[in-house]
Structure 1
């Protein structure tokens, strides 16, 4: 069954709409990243000025140690929060791309299956074996793709769990370091 010009135009239009949507999502991700970095830079500049002023007002070494100890825990927590925001932006944008890709793959699989069904209806007598092999290959390819999707989802879940564990460990380590520095005073 040959493609008609209308089908080609409709396919191209759908592809352009998908491309526009993905480009828009990519720019939204970049905007969020720029906003996050500007916010972090402003906060770092402000905190640096405040910390410098506090350093200039230090009267003895004990006060200096206390000031430095109080700096570490918030710094680690802010770094963990920044990393979490960064991860959320990246995973959100990636999820949009994955969703679009999966939709296009499902649509292509459905079209291909429809084409195989149409071809099998119009196949000459005696080609039932070839048609069955073709349908079996399509089913195997579909199952393989679904298996890969599941594996990627599991790997993504493991990566997120590991990221959360590392962020939690870093925050706890900073709290421990702060507590140890306070005891040393």
Structure 2
């Protein structure tokens, strides 16, 4: 594929750089998620092994239930922590991709505006209305893009706040349940 001008070659290089930059951001997020999943599996297996070694030593059913409830509290907390970390990885990756897309959009928008300005300089007499309409359309597109970007950021923020609220409520409930079962086992024993 031969490019006919240095501008086309530069544009092709910029497009490839943009593609590989975006791909890199997505893979960084996938790597973080994979590392988190491996860490969770490793710690879950270690805890399961530890818990399995404790269970055979219990002879009293109430002790066994207390031991089981001791497993659910930390499991719930760790599940909530895992969900939070996944959400953080997704949010960070989304923010990086959005920032990258914003930079690409700004570069593209600057080129379009420069093109329109150059076209306006070289336009024949009487084409002022068409140039003004073109500039107005570019301005409207920019406004729409900015509005969509702000709406997306607000949606992510609301989702994060809702996730925090649900996590806090679930964490409190798990702690309350974990405290009630050993207390009941101690009262009956």
Same topology, TM > 0.5: yes
User: Cα deviation per residue 1:153-183 (whole Å; 9 max; x = unaligned)?
Assistant: 1111001111111111111110111122123
Matches within 5 A, 1:111-150: 111-150=111-150
Using the size of structure 1 for normalisation, the TM-score is 0.93
1:27 positional shift:
2.1
Matched with 1:78 is 78
* Number of the residue aligned with 2:7: 7
Q: Is the 8 A contact 2:91 2:156 kept in 1?
A: no
The two structures have a TM-score, normalised by structure 2, of 0.91
Q: Secondary structure at the match of 1:165?
A: helix
Give the distance between the partners of 2:43 and 2:109, measured in 1 at CA. Answer: 49
Q: Which residue of 2 aligns with 1:57?
A: 57
Q: Separation in 1 of the partners of 2:151 and 2:12?
A: 31
Instruction: List structure 1 segments (4+ residues) > 4 angstroms apart after TM superposition.
Output: none
RMSD: 1.5
Task: Provide the residue aligned with 1:17 in structure 2.
Answer: 17
Q: When the two structures are aligned, how many residues end up with a matched partner?
A: 183
The aligned runs of 1:28-39 (5 Å cut-off) are 28-39=28-39
Displacement of 1:72: 1.7
Distance in 2 between residues matched to 1:4 and 1:108, nearest whole Å: 20
The equivalent residue for 1:42 is 42
- Aligned pair 1:101/2:101, yes or no? yes
Compared CA separation, residues 24 and 12, structure 1 to 2 (3 A): same
How far apart are residue 48 of structure 1 and its match? 0.7
Which SS does the other structure have where 2:53 is aligned? helix
Partner of 1:67: 67
**Deviation of 1:10 (Å):** 0.7
Check whether the contact 2:73–2:175 (CA below 8 A) recurs between aligned residues.
yes
Distance 1:177 1:101 in 2: 46
Asked if residue 163 in structure 1 is aligned to residue 128 in structure 2, the reply is: no
Say whether residues 1:89 and 2:55 are aligned partners: no
